[in-house]
Amino acid sequence: MSSQANKNKVKDHEQPTEHTLRLAELPWFESILAKLKQAYNDERLAHGLIICAPKGSGKQAFARSFIKSILCQKSSATFTDFCSQCKSCLLFEAASFPDYHQLERLTDNKGKQKQSIGIEQIRQLTDKLADTAQLSGWRVALITSVSDLTTASFNALLKTLEEPGDKTLLVLLADNLQSVPATIRSRCQLVLPKLNNQSLLNWLEQQTEITDQKQLQLSLQHCYHAPLLAKQYLLNGGFDIRLKLNQLGDALLLNQINPQIFLEQVPAELSIDQIILWMTDYLLEVEKAILSRSGNQHYMQLNPKLPIQLYHKLTDYLRAQSAGSNLQPKLQLQSILIQWYEAGRKIIQLSTR
Ligand SMILES: [Zn+2]
């Protein structure tokens, strides 16, 4: 694929809603941003940054805004938030900035996204980073998901991190650090947003106009403390849907409904995969309730290992599915629902004997 085609590919994957955010709209990055600005002004910005945060925390928006600000002509002496008006900003917005490279998985000729970012893509990238800069002097690359890199791809990146050119910046985005080899980690600065304080709840309240603190707190938990995800979740009624599903899960355990009625009563907009994801969370919550001896009394009469066994069955299925297996999602879900219903039946029969 030619580099022009690559560039177009990159553009296709952009999600404008996330990318138009300004740095100030992501306050959980505020303290780390202050440190990065200082390092930039002191000319000691690390050559490699790993931004690690869950999906829906705005890390890609932050990375792009930060990079756009560095490339902005107003930042030539001291760091200034991007202006959106200079030549650099306009080129960046049009995905035509010649010294900025955004790397993601390519799509094959059948339109299917490849499983990983291959070594060839990394080699092309490191060559470009080694070239003389065409504009502001900075050469920057953003790799939007490090978990897509293969071992060979990581090794190909190492050289750039070990012998970086002047004004070269490599930004890697990671949902978690497990996917990043120690050799890469040790050569990069880790960028972690603050995702667990009261200010996040205040932000969420302001954004959604929902004042119920318990609801805000639970929504954050349900969304792995990813603020943008939690905002969407609340605004799209995700919290209420989850409550409804939890009630259905409990009703199934109490044999008030059977698996077929469960599936009929699930909100119609949910896909089977979404229900499976909910079910994994629900089973973990039940397990937690058993361990802390709180919650629905029927949970305490269950075989304490059952929720986690069913949870593992579902996560095994999800793993197989992402590896491309042809397992039928509905059959997988039905099998778990039946086991949940049967477990409840045992409890009820024992308690009425
Ligand atoms: Zn600008």
* pLDDT one-digit tens code per residue, 113-172: 787 888 999 999 999 888 888 886 899 999 998 988 989 999 999 988 888 888 999 999
The Cα–Cα gap between 117 and 149 comes to: 5
For tokens 């022009």, name the residue: 4
Amino acid, res. 56: G
3-state SS track over 83-132 = CCCCHHHHHHHCCCCCCEEEECCCECCCCCECCCECHHHHHHHHHHHHCC
For the chain, how long is the longest CA-to-CA vector? 82
CA of residue 12 to ligand 1 center, whole Å: 23
CA of residue 352 to ligand 1 center, whole Å: 73
CA of residue 72 to ligand 1 center, whole Å: 4
CA of residue 103 to ligand 1 center, whole Å: 23
Going by C-beta distance under 8 Å and a sequence separation of 6 or more, which residues neighbour residue 339?
Answer: 306, 310
CA of residue 251 to ligand 1 center, whole Å: 57
CA of residue 88 to ligand 1 center, whole Å: 6
Write the burial class of residue 1 (CB in 10 Å: 0-12 exposed, 13-18 middle, 19+ buried).
middle
pLDDT score recorded for residue 325:
79
Amino acid, res. 142: L
The Cα–Cα gap between 179 and 174 comes to: 8
**pLDDT profile of the chain (353 residues), mean per 10:** 39 41 88 95 95 94 95 92 94 94 85 84 90 86 91 90 90 92 94 87 94 92 91 93 95 96 94 93 94 88 94 92 83 96 90 68
The number of beta carbons lying within 10 Å of the beta carbon of residue 223 is 23
Instruction: Give the H/E segment covering residue 31.
Output: helix 30-41
CA of residue 138 to ligand 1 center, whole Å: 14
- CA nearest neighbour of 136 among 90, 191, 188: 90
How many residues make up the chain in this entry? 353
Residue 134 near residue 98 (C-beta atoms within 8 A): yes
pTM: predicted TM-score of the whole model, two decimal places: 0.80
How far CA 197 is from CA of 28, 229, 320, in Å, comes to 9, 16, 36
CA of residue 87 to ligand 1 center, whole Å: 7
CA of residue 192 to ligand 1 center, whole Å: 26
CA of residue 75 to ligand 1 center, whole Å: 8
Residue 86 near residue 98 (C-beta atoms within 8 A): no
List the beta bridge partners of residue 171: 49, 142
pLDDT score recorded for residue 232:
93
pLDDT score recorded for residue 20:
60
Show the CA angle centred on residue 131, arms to residues 40 and 86, nearest 5°: 50
Rg over alpha carbons for the chain, rounded to the nearest Å, is 24
Show the CA angle centred on residue 212, arms to residues 192 and 237, nearest 5°: 80
- CA nearest neighbour of 249 among 194, 211, 302: 302
CA of residue 206 to ligand 1 center, whole Å: 29
List the beta bridge partners of residue 117: 149
Task: Output the six-digit token pair for 158.
Answer: 């190492």
Residue 336 near residue 315 (C-beta atoms within 8 A): no
Instruction: Give the H/E segment covering residue 18.
Output: helix 16-19
Q: Is 122 left (phi over 0), alpha (psi -120 to 50) or beta?
A: alpha
CA of residue 77 to ligand 1 center, whole Å: 13
CA of residue 24 to ligand 1 center, whole Å: 16
CA of residue 336 to ligand 1 center, whole Å: 54
The number of beta carbons lying within 10 Å of the beta carbon of residue 215 is 17
CA of residue 69 to ligand 1 center, whole Å: 7
